[in-house]
Amino acid sequence: MSVLDLKTCRPELAFPFLAVMIWFACLDVCNSTLGQVTRPQQSNKSDKVLREAIQRAIAPIERAMVGYRENRRCFSCHHHAHAVIGLSTMVRRGLDVDRELLQIQYLRSISRTRMVENRYLENQGIGGGVDTAGHALLVMRIGNHRPDKTTDAMIAWLLKQNQNQGFWTGTKNRAPTQTSDVTRTWLCLDALKHFGPLSLTDEIEEQETRSRKWLLDVDVASTEDKVSRIRALSVIGDASDLVNKFAAALVKEQRDDGGWAQTDEMDSDAYATGSVLMTLHQNAGLSTDHACYQRGIAFLESTQLDDGTWHVATRATRVQKYFESGFPHGRDQFISFTATCWAATAMALSLPESNWQNQHPAALVDLSSPSVELDAEVHHEFQERFDREIWPIISDNGKSSCIRCHDQNHQSGFRLTGEASADFTAMLGDGWFHPHDPGGILFCITSKNPEFMMPPGKLPRLEEAQVEVLTEFARDLYQFPD
């Protein structure tokens, strides 16, 4: 019996952010489950009005993505992962999204992760711990990133972090996003499922068995915990009865105002409501036409502010130095940013995807890996061109030579051996030449921001002619237009 069959169904859908996009491809399966459910009344808002509401949310989200990038270099769970999840869903619903910005945010997530690849390989501490690794791998999954040596290093690192326990843990001072061990466990299980190398199959299966037992025994007090448990069991698989059971309990927690709250003591808000709606639809098969979902959407519509955002008060302990990302709500801006992503995503999921996409095929976006594969003949041609045009800039350019700093011990992911053929192959495979990668060579050599620009500090910048040579090489390699 599906959770949607419950006569007591009150809008209920709480879930932690990211999985939205990942399970997007499973909508047909979800909808077939929903076919068993009685279809309630349609939304009292037309698709046109709903699209306009979502579109108003997209503008401040995109503005803050740029603002965060101008102030912070690190990978961000909210401004990278949550933004990619939300906007990817909205693109697939035919909404007007800056697809180049979305692509850049995805590529930037990968480049920031590669910069600390050595720390994963050496089992060192990572800023943000498993939260950072889990969110980064989730972004890669959304973008159909192929498993590579970076993901292999991250998976091996994740397996070492829980010391054969059934769960992963971390900081407890950044509610709601970074206080839940259930959320961390879901993120890690999802990463193991989709990026785990064959050589670790037995170890991963043993971990899933331990985690299933822990998920059934753990005390879940917050909505964040409850939606993450549903997500985690869905990843492990063979748990439809348990998913329906826990989803039914979550449905009953819908408030009279149509929303959900982060905890029993709090009021309903967009963060909890958006995440719940996403989860019930994606993992429990709840139709977006169902009364529960429609009441949740009505709550979100009624609480959206004139600037297109939703305001949620922060509960996180202050850790980082305060800065303005361009998103409203002052010190509440980060949680409000994610809440706006979840709310707009939940609303977007209720739009008719298939009809819109048939009419607007350009609405689709492909977040592909920045790496490129060449056949032997083309590889040879670009290798010769690299040796002739690029290698002198990298290896024999005085104080501005990349190889002076970026040897095999460099802390970033950009490490050179000093052998042209090997370095070209490595740079090609890792996507360092991608013209739109904000962590790649072109971005760094043209950046005016001292935090990003290369060569760094007071070292002489590359000459304009050298920048143009690198730019043309990258465009030809990826077949980008001028």
Q: What is the pLDDT along the chain (482 residues), one digit of tens a residue?
A: 333 333 333 333 333 333 333 333 333 333 333 333 333 334 456 889 999 999 999 999 999 988 877 677 677 787 889 999 999 999 989 899 988 788 878 877 887 787 788 899 999 999 889 999 999 999 999 888 889 888 999 999 999 998 789 999 987 777 787 789 999 999 999 999 999 999 999 999 999 999 999 999 999 989 999 999 999 999 999 889 999 999 999 999 999 999 999 999 999 999 999 999 999 999 999 999 999 999 999 999 999 999 999 999 998 777 777 788 889 999 999 999 999 999 999 999 999 775 545 555 444 455 655 666 788 899 999 999 999 999 999 988 888 888 888 888 876 667 888 999 998 988 887 777 877 665 678 878 887 767 668 888 888 989 999 999 999 998 898 875 54
| Dist CA 240 CA 2 (whole Å) | 9
pLDDT at 358: 55
d(CA 187, CA 194): 11
- Cα 356 to Cα 54: distance, rounded to the nearest angstrom: 15
pLDDT for 291: 95
Q: What is the pLDDT of residue 191?
A: 97
Nearest to 351 by CA among 18, 55, 34: 55
Domains and CATH numbers, the chain: 3-363 (1.50.10.20), 376-478 (no CATH)
CB 280 within 8 A of CB 2: no
Counting Cα atoms < 13 Å in the Cβ hemisphere of 210 gives 16
Bridge partners, residue 261, by sequence: 268
What is the per-residue pLDDT for 109? 82
Could you tell me which residues come within 8 angstroms of residue 111 by beta carbon, excluding any fewer than 6 positions away?
Answer: 370, 413, 431, 437, 438, 439, 440
Contacts of 125 (CB under 8 A, 6+ apart): 119
Question: Mind giving me the DSSP string for 409-474?
Answer: T-SSS----S-HHHHHHHHHHHTTT-TT-TTSHHHHHH---TTT-SS-TTSPPPPHHHHHHHHHHH
Which strand (E) or helix (H) includes residue 231?
helix 223-236
Tell me how far CA of residue 474 lies from CA of 129, 273, 436, 440, 479, in angstroms.
34, 44, 10, 11, 8
* Distance, CA of 60 to CA of 52 (rounded, Å): 14
Distances (CA, A) of 21 to 312, 332, 366, 392, 470: 23, 25, 13, 43, 35
